[in-house]
Chains A and B, each alone.
Chain A
């Protein structure tokens, strides 16, 4: 009896195998056009220009990418239209970067990002970026120094995130910041530079108020945002301190060079920060940041073996960072964008705050946000 059930089960299994086979939709790798980067631009009032950068695997092809652009009213609409001029079906399972033009980003991009987030084939680690000028121009350009603009752009961004000079702009981060009250997104800002625009550079970071871009800060200032927003584990920075600080220890010849600041390069930076809400009615948040790092390079000859000099340098760096940091915070306040997440600190410190975005932006504008930095130089390198 048991055996007979086994036979029946087996025949059922075989017939099911034959019948249900059609249910799984095949997506064979070599029949797919794999998008690496998709760029979006505003064409007119309600039409989008979608630029698709696809892998070109044909060994006979001279280019390693295929670039297809088309206009439609929605992002998926542009993809469908692009399919009309492609031998392979465009799919976004291997998407690495989506690029939005500055103009588009200023109108708000949540519609375009939301569709990415709801697509199960797209991972949460896709990078979002903003282009200065049209995304189409950046993607369409033929760069002589690298073959595949798609992977190049992806590697440029990911390399800088790993090197801690850029804040992580993944789809996951965007959606998280978008949906949380008191924290705003910050995305890398890419631009073409050089002769004939042959270079692709991350020139700064685009600031957002929710999904709407409100401004740009240069990479130098991104450091302070990152310092306050995340923590450093192995970053590096070039910073300047006034010449007077070390004046006492300098030779006469060095002093003669006038008042140019001294430049220092710090690396293997690691930081930790503590925030404290002092006043909740007229928000005042005191931030204390402790940084340790290694002094890698100094633009002047300084005797680094003396503890007092090191101590002076540490103090000067702390002061310089504090000034710069406070300037950046003031700038962010003026732009009414909060990429650091002071709002979240407020919300988590005040019970039943019922904080809404509008309420926070109003408070944020004239909140007192004080930054204190304490720098420790752990090493100055190896002396033979």
Chain B
């Protein structure tokens, strides 16, 4: 970000209050109240103002019909109010008679306006300067579905949806502990999006909690739609291609991370949770790694690492060896390689870039098209373009295999963000290979390595546990050791409570017949 800099904790703009000082409090008369509300909300057509003539007092309800549950208002408020026996009921009496849990008494007009937008209903009583706020929120939300981007064969099959309350509930279901803290924050001057910061008290490092809270609350921002936007704003280095905080749609994964001492951030309206601090290697892990046996998990993790290196280096190595280092081609491979290249009119660099571009076109088109069309296009397009390109002498057979393999391996990365990153850094690598050969590849690799070494995630080193070396975290990096090895929490999170369980006792097996 050369031009736009994040401002963290430097200056806090004056809170621009829309209501003038004399309108800070709720007016006692109904007419005045109606005027005030209408002037603030202009003429919103979905604002409902319903008056009830009650012996003694006039009761008025204000709510947004689009945000509230009609049934609650009818059954739990209107019918109760109509059946009120007391001649002039006090606020407290009404509150007591309403069969609704979340009811607040307020005097502040600001709070009224805000809560109305959150789906609450205002009950105004003629002649009183305080009013009742009743939670009648009732929006249709998407049902809980299986995770689409982080799908697993094994393990829980539920993902977050767009409702903050549901998402928090999903996590609470996994961690039924009073230690799970849920801090409510607000981001965006206009949108005033609700953001929840979750952590386990006594486990998560207090310094991390404070840092993250500061980063979120001091954001200078007018709008926040999704957590994927928030993550870009609170990351340590927004300029890097590498994601430094994890986005996940799996509540089980978030819970497991919270128990390691990490922090999670949920944003209202977003089905993705932000988890931090995260390390590079964690983007190549899945929660399924813990659900299958440790040896399988280790195998799969190593597979993913191989796939990552293949994906980044396979095509560049092809380009480099064909452009500069024909000496290194094994003699058994030389003849088929050269024969398939014989008809190609381009130098290897352009040939490779062309084919990589085709693959990226196909992928992007596949992602944008409606599901049913997309699949057909992906398969048929791949085969047709691949076959035709070879037959027309555009590219060589071997390069098609290499590029396809590279694309395939980039999709084995469990994190979508990281997968995209890997596909992107392949292009400069190919260019370097085409310009400087093996030297260029080495240069690119060193550049990436140095870059990665300099990154951090919420202040924690990004390349941990490889650098700095942390033996305890290495047990859960490329390999996944059996559970008795995980008796302590990650070093990375600098957890307040480092121990999970007593390793010695865990290893004792007490069978009944002993």
Give the interface of A toward B (CB within 8 A): 3, 7, 17, 21, 24-30, 32, 34, 55, 57-59, 91, 93-94, 96, 121, 123, 151, 154
Question: What are the interface flags for B328-369 relative to A under an 8 Å C-beta threshold, 1 for contact and 0 otherwise?
Answer: 010100110111011110011000000000000000000000
Inter-chain residue pair count (beta carbon < 8 A): 66
The answer for the CA separation of A123 and B325 in the assembled complex, in Å, is 13
Query: Which residue on chain B has the smallest CB distance to residue A57?
Result: B338
Closest 3 pairs (CB-CB, A-B)? A93-B327, A57-B338, A29-B322
Does B337 contact A24, Cβ atoms closer than 8 Å?
no
Does B335 contact A55, Cβ atoms closer than 8 Å?
yes
Complex contacts, A154 vs chain B, CB 8 Å: 331
Q: Out of B331, B339, B341, B436, which one reaches A24, CB within 8 Å?
A: B436
Q: Out of B329, B435, B440, which one reaches A29, CB within 8 Å?
A: B329
Does B331 contact A21, Cβ atoms closer than 8 Å?
no
Does B338 contact A55, Cβ atoms closer than 8 Å?
yes
**Given A28-B347, A34-B334, A93-B326, A3:B341 Cβ within 8 A:** no
B467 within 8 A of A: no
| B7 smallest CB distance to A (angstroms) | 14
The answer for the CA separation of A231 and B325 in the assembled complex, in Å, is 36
Does A30 contact B338, Cβ atoms closer than 8 Å?
yes
Complex contacts, B326 vs chain A, CB 8 Å: 27, 29, 32, 34, 91, 93-94
Does A24 contact B343, Cβ atoms closer than 8 Å?
no
The answer for the CA separation of A24 and B439 in the assembled complex, in Å, is 10
Does A7 contact B2, Cβ atoms closer than 8 Å?
yes
B119 within 8 A of A: no
Query: Which residue on chain A has the smallest CB distance to residue B3?
Result: A3
B25 within 8 A of A: no
Does A59 contact B327, Cβ atoms closer than 8 Å?
no
The answer for the CA separation of A7 and B3 in the assembled complex, in Å, is 11
Among A17, A28, A55, A154: residue with most chain B CB under 10 A: A28
Query: Which residue on chain A has the smallest CB distance to residue B327?
Result: A93
Complex contacts, A25 vs chain B, CB 8 Å: 324
Does B322 contact A28, Cβ atoms closer than 8 Å?
yes
Complex contacts, B261 vs chain A, CB 8 Å: none
**Given A27-B323, A29-B338, A30-B341, A151:B331 Cβ within 8 A:** yes
The answer for the CA separation of A154 and B334 in the assembled complex, in Å, is 14
26 residue pairs from A and B, CB less than 8 Å apart:
A3-B1, A3-B2, A17-B435, A24-B324, A24-B436, A24-B440, A25-B324, A26-B323, A26-B347, A27-B324, A28-B323, A28-B348, A29-B322, A29-B337, A29-B341, A30-B338, A34-B326, A55-B334, A55-B338, A57-B338, A58-B342, A59-B343, A91-B326, A93-B327, A94-B331, A151-B335
Complex contacts, B316 vs chain A, CB 8 Å: none
| A194 smallest CB distance to B (angstroms) | 26
| A267 smallest CB distance to B (angstroms) | 27
**Given A24-B435, A55-B335, A121:B327 Cβ within 8 A:** yes
Given known contacts A3-B1, A28-B347, A55-B334, what 15 new A-B pairs fall within 8 Å (CB)?
A17-B435, A21-B435, A24-B439, A27-B323, A27-B324, A27-B326, A29-B322, A29-B329, A29-B337, A57-B338, A58-B342, A91-B326, A93-B326, A94-B331, A123-B327
| B2 smallest CB distance to A (angstroms) | 6
| A171 smallest CB distance to B (angstroms) | 14
The answer for the CA separation of A154 and B332 in the assembled complex, in Å, is 12
Complex contacts, B329 vs chain A, CB 8 Å: 29, 94
Complex contacts, A24 vs chain B, CB 8 Å: 324, 435-437, 439-440
Complex contacts, A151 vs chain B, CB 8 Å: 331, 335
| B448 smallest CB distance to A (angstroms) | 14
The answer for the CA separation of A123 and B329 in the assembled complex, in Å, is 12
Complex contacts, A93 vs chain B, CB 8 Å: 326-327
Among A29, A55, A151, A154: residue with most chain B CB under 10 A: A29
Does B331 contact A57, Cβ atoms closer than 8 Å?
no
Complex contacts, B324 vs chain A, CB 8 Å: 24-27
The answer for the CA separation of A270 and B463 in the assembled complex, in Å, is 50
Q: Out of B1, B327, B439, which one reaches A94, CB within 8 Å?
A: B327
Complex contacts, A28 vs chain B, CB 8 Å: 322-323, 347-348
Query: Which residue on chain A has the smallest CB distance to residue B342?
Result: A57
Query: Which residue on chain A has the smallest CB distance to residue B321?
Result: A29
| A172 smallest CB distance to B (angstroms) | 16
Complex contacts, B327 vs chain A, CB 8 Å: 93-94, 121, 123
The answer for the CA separation of A59 and B331 in the assembled complex, in Å, is 18
Query: Which residue on chain A has the smallest CB distance to residue B324?
Result: A27
The answer for the CA separation of A28 and B436 in the assembled complex, in Å, is 12
Complex contacts, A27 vs chain B, CB 8 Å: 323-326
The answer for the CA separation of A185 and B331 in the assembled complex, in Å, is 26
The answer for the CA separation of A57 and B341 in the assembled complex, in Å, is 9
Complex contacts, B335 vs chain A, CB 8 Å: 55, 57, 151
Complex contacts, B439 vs chain A, CB 8 Å: 24
The answer for the CA separation of A71 and B318 in the assembled complex, in Å, is 36
Complex contacts, A21 vs chain B, CB 8 Å: 435-436
The answer for the CA separation of A30 and B398 in the assembled complex, in Å, is 14
Complex contacts, B339 vs chain A, CB 8 Å: 57, 59
Complex contacts, A96 vs chain B, CB 8 Å: 331
Q: Out of B334, B342, B436, which one reaches A59, CB within 8 Å?
A: B342
Which residues 236-269 in B have Cβ within 8 Å of A in the complex?
none
Which residues 1-22 in B have Cβ within 8 Å of A in the complex?
1-2
| A270 smallest CB distance to B (angstroms) | 29
The answer for the CA separation of A32 and B341 in the assembled complex, in Å, is 12
Query: Which residue on chain B has the smallest CB distance to residue A151?
Result: B331
The answer for the CA separation of A98 and B341 in the assembled complex, in Å, is 27
| B507 smallest CB distance to A (angstroms) | 46
Complex contacts, B343 vs chain A, CB 8 Å: 59
Query: Which residue on chain B has the smallest CB distance to residue A7?
Result: B2
Complex contacts, A34 vs chain B, CB 8 Å: 326, 334, 338
Query: Which residue on chain B has the smallest CB distance to residue A64?
Result: B335
| A184 smallest CB distance to B (angstroms) | 29
Among A30, A34, A93: residue with most chain B CB under 10 A: A30
The answer for the CA separation of A173 and B377 in the assembled complex, in Å, is 58
Complex contacts, B344 vs chain A, CB 8 Å: 30
The answer for the CA separation of A40 and B325 in the assembled complex, in Å, is 26
Does B334 contact A94, Cβ atoms closer than 8 Å?
yes
Complex contacts, A30 vs chain B, CB 8 Å: 338, 341-342, 344
The answer for the CA separation of A26 and B436 in the assembled complex, in Å, is 9
The answer for the CA separation of A91 and B325 in the assembled complex, in Å, is 12
Complex contacts, A32 vs chain B, CB 8 Å: 326
Complex contacts, A58 vs chain B, CB 8 Å: 342
The answer for the CA separation of A29 and B348 in the assembled complex, in Å, is 9
| B71 smallest CB distance to A (angstroms) | 56
Query: Which residue on chain B has the smallest CB distance to residue A93?
Result: B327
| B376 smallest CB distance to A (angstroms) | 34
| A83 smallest CB distance to B (angstroms) | 17
The answer for the CA separation of A7 and B2 in the assembled complex, in Å, is 8
Query: Which residue on chain A has the smallest CB distance to residue B447?
Result: A13
The answer for the CA separation of A383 and B436 in the assembled complex, in Å, is 63
